[in-house]
Amino acid sequence: MSKLWGGRFTKPTNQLVEEYTASILFDKELAEEDIQGSLAHVKMLGRSGIIPEADAAVIAEGLTKVLAKIKAGELAFSVGDEDIHMNIEKALIAEIGPVGGKLHTGRSRNDQVATDMHLYLRKRTVEIAGLLHKLQEALLAQAEANLDTILPGYTHLQRAQPILLAHHLLAYVSMLERDIGRFRDSYKRVNVLPLGAGALAGTTFPIDRHFVAEQLGFDGVYENSLDAVSDRDFIVEFLANSSLVMAHLSRLCEELVLWSSTEFGFIELDDAFCTGSSIMPQKKNPDVPELVRGKTGRVYGHLIGLLTVLKALPLAYNKDMQEDKEGMFDTVRTLEGALQLFAPMIATMKVRTERMRQAVNRDFSNATDIADYLVTKGLPFRQAHEVIGRLVLYGIEHDKFLLDLTLAEFREFSELFDENIFEVLQPEHVVNARNVYGGTARTQVEAALGRARQNAAATAEWMAGFDR
C-alpha cells in the first residue's frame, strides 16, 4: 500500500530514508495516548457536523478495536508507515474500511503528536509525584524512628557538628518536597491542549477545540497555533525537574554508599537491595545506590540534548523535533525505576545507632559549643575561636578528645572554664542547644516532622484528585 501522504510524490521513499526518519520504533509507546486523543477528536468531528455522526461512531468503534489489538500484542508496527499515527490510521482503515480516512479531518500529525506527548507527560507527572511521595514517607518513618539518634554532621566531608539523624533525613524530605512542588507546578503547563492547531496555522473546518479539551480533561487550549505545534517547553521542564530529582537521589546515594562502608558503618542496606562479588565471597555491594548515582548523568544528558535540538529552531514544526521523544521516554523509565527501588530500600535500611554515637564521642565536633560557651562568659568570639583552636591542637598532640580533658587542662587555656563545661560538651546538649527554627534540636526536629507530615498529606490529597 502506498504512503497515506504519497499523492504528490513520483518515486518511492529510499529504504535508508525510511529507516532513518521512522520513529515507530520508539513512539509506539504513545499508542494509547494517540488513540485517546483520536477518540476525542472524532467525537468532536461528529458533534460539529464535520463528518456524519454515524461515521464518527464507526471510527470510534474501530479505534477501540485497534487499541485492544495493540494491548494484546496483535498489531505489527511497520517502519514503512513511519510513526505511531500512520500505523494506527492504517490499522484503522484495514479494520473499518475507507471511512477510517475521515479521522484525520481537521488535524495534522504536528498537533496530533504534541497532544500525545501532553497526554503522556500529564500521566507521568502525577505518577512521579506519587513515587516521590512514597520516598518521603519512607524517609519520614526512618526520621521518626531515629529522633534520638545522634551522628556527626559534615562539611567538606570532615566532621563538623553533631546533629540528629532525623534532622539529616529531613533535609532530603525538604528536597523532595521542592521536587514535588516543581512537578505540581509544571502540571498546569502540561495540561494544555495543542490539538486543533493543524500543521501550523489552524484549520478551515469548524472544529471545537474547547470541547476536545474538555473530553480529554485539559484545563485549556494553546492560544497560538504556531506555538501549539512547536512548543516543547513542557518536555524541557519535565527533564529539568527530573534532573533535579536525580541530583537529590544521587547525593543521598553517595551517603548511603559511604555510610554502609566498613569505614563508616553507620547503616546496613537490606540484602534485597545489594549484590555480591563473583570472586570475593565476603562482599556486600550497595549496587542500587551506585547505579542510581551513575544513571543521573543520562538524565542530565537528555535535558541538554533537547535544549540543543530547540536552539535556533525556526517556527513552526521541524523534523528535528522528532528527537524530543527518546530522551523523554528514557528519563521516565530511569526516574521511575530509581524511585520504585528507593522507597523500600530506605524503609528496610538498618541504622547502627551505637556506631554513630561512637563517632560523635570520638571527634572534635563539639568545639564550636565551647567557643560559644566562652562567649557567654564575656570573651569575644574571635578570641574564643583562637582559644579553642589551640585547645583542639593540644588534644590532637596528646591523643585526647575534648571530653577526655580534665578541668585543669581546660583552665590552662582559659580561666573562664568551670565544671559545667562537661555538660556543654555532651552530644545531647550540643544538639539541643541549636533550638532555632530549622535547627537540629529535638523539639525543632519534632516540629519539622509535623510540618513535613502536613505537606505529605497535601500531596496525597492532590494526587487523590486524579482518576486518569
Q: What is the pLDDT of residues 386-442, one digit of tens each?
A: 999 999 999 999 999 999 999 999 999 999 999 999 999 999 999 999 999 999 999
Per-residue model confidence (pLDDT) at position 61: 98
Q: What is the pLDDT of residue 1?
A: 45
Supply the pTM of this predicted model: 0.92
Q: Which domains does the chain have, with CATH numbers?
A: 6-105 (1.10.275.10), 124-148+163-187+217-358 (1.20.200.10), 361-447 (1.10.40.30)
Query: Per the residue annotation, which of 167, 260, 277, 429 is the catalytic one?
Result: 277
Q: Check residue 2 and give its pLDDT.
A: 60
Tell me whether residue 156 is one of the annotated catalytic residues.
yes
Cα separations (Å) of 262 from 251, 267, 273, 352, 365?
A: 19, 10, 17, 12, 21
The residue from 41, 156, 365, 414 that is catalytic is: 156
- pLDDT of 467 reads 59
Low-confidence spans in the chain with pLDDT less than 50? 1, 468
Long-range contacts of 202-209, Cβ-Cβ distance < 8 Å, separation of 24 or more? 203/106, 203/107, 205/48, 205/50, 205/105, 205/106, 206/48, 206/49, 206/50, 207/44, 207/45, 207/48, 207/50, 207/106, 208/44, 208/47, 208/48
365 is an active site residue = no
